[in-house]
Amino acid sequence: MQDILSVIRQLKRPKLLIRAARFGVDDYDRERHLVRILRVHHLPVSGDALMRLMDLEERLNDLRKANEAGYSTARHVDILIAIMGEARLLRAVTSV
């Protein structure tokens, strides 16, 4: 089984979505963003947060590809920002 960071590296998404997320990742605030995105009161550890974010992102990507009316580009970018931010935190912790 692949580790979560390898899975993230292999994600293939439209360049415009990724570029938009990269603009926002520097302002990523885990406490503020995760509470809103995951709708939780207590923050999960980075690995758990990433797994939940990846599930949310996959569902949004499916909606995007199916041209569903419920798809939100803004939410998709928001979740990609959180994935990138959490991945940075996890890499920083695991490289120490």
Read off the pLDDT of residues 15-71 as tens digits, 9 standing for 90 and up.
Answer: 999 999 999 999 999 999 999 999 998 898 878 899 999 999 999 999 999 999 999
State the average pLDDT over residues 79-83: 95
Domain ranges of the chain: 4-94
CA angle 65, 76, 27 (to 5 degrees): 155
CA distance 40 to 42: 6
For residue 2, the model assigns a pLDDT of 52
For residue 96, the model assigns a pLDDT of 58
CA distance 6 to 28: 21
- Token pair listed for 3: 């580790």
Phi, psi dihedrals of residue 29, rounded to the nearest 5°: -120, 105
State the average pLDDT over residues 68-75: 95
For residue 21, the model assigns a pLDDT of 93
